Amino acid sequence: MTCALVALLLLGAAPAVAQGVFKYTDDRGVVHFTNVSPDDRYTQIRVFQSSNGPGRVRPRGPVKTYDALIARTAQSQGIPPAMVKAVIHAESSFDPNAVSRKGAMGLMQLMPATASGLGVSRPFRALDNISGGTRYLRMMHDRYGSWAWALAAYNAGPTAVDKYRGIPPFEETRKYVQRVLTYYRRYDADFSR
């Protein structure tokens, strides 16, 4: 990431500084981001900013667009598809090109190191992102045996959950867990049993 983009994302640069955020994946699979005049290899993306409470993020796209893919992927990992859909809603509001201020990417907002560790080389491709995010969610549930703790680890990282032996006392994480569980109950009816 260029220094200018990091400053833009972290400090909220004035509108005159950047006209957008652009990404490009080179031949080695390295993803590059910039906010300066890119060439034709770059495509414009939206920078997603999350909300701070249950139900406050309105879906940006049709909420059923990814249901078949979610169902297949969740089934392959043995987890409820409604949980995967709830995480997608909370993380990206169904925007496959979402990028957080911290650099998380795609529908399930995979951090670059997490994506790399999961073998996800194309984090903005729905299939790859959902597959990687679902596998990570499964790993967190296997590790903690609780959806609340798994979601807390998905949001704050397993180190924080281990340190606090449960959901960390971070307001953002507590609201995140509540929001995802609310969405989970809402989306449960979207998937046949």
Distance CA 152, CA 167 (A): 6
Residue 132 has pLDDT above 50, yes or no: yes
Contact 78, 96 (CB under 8 A): no
CATH architecture of 50-190: Orthogonal Bundle (1.10)
Per-residue confidence (pLDDT) for residue 2, from 0 to 100 = 43
Query: CA–CA separation, 13 vs 131, rounded Å?
Result: 34
Place of tokens 């990814």: 66
pLDDT tens, 135-180?
A: 999 999 999 999 999 999 999 999 999 999 999 999 999 999 999 9
Listed by start position, the domains of the chain span: 1-45, 50-190
Contact 128, 149 (CB under 8 A): no
Higher local confidence (pLDDT), 16 or 4: 4
pLDDT in tens, 28-87: 766 666 666 566 665 656 554 444 333 344 555 557 899 999 999 999 999 999 999 999
Under 8 Å between Cβ of 161 and 152: yes
Q: Which residues are catalytic?
A: 91
Structure tokens at 143: 């590790």
* Section 6-12 average pLDDT: 41
pLDDT > 60? residue 10: no
| Edge-to-edge strand ranges of the sheet holding 43-45 | 31-34, 21-25, 43-45
The predicted structure's pLDDT at residue 14: 35
* pLDDT score of 11: 41
Write down the pLDDT at residue 60. Answer: 55
Rounded to whole angstroms, the Cα distance separating 53 from 5 reads: 27
Per DSSP, 32 falls in state E
CA distance 90 to 51: 8
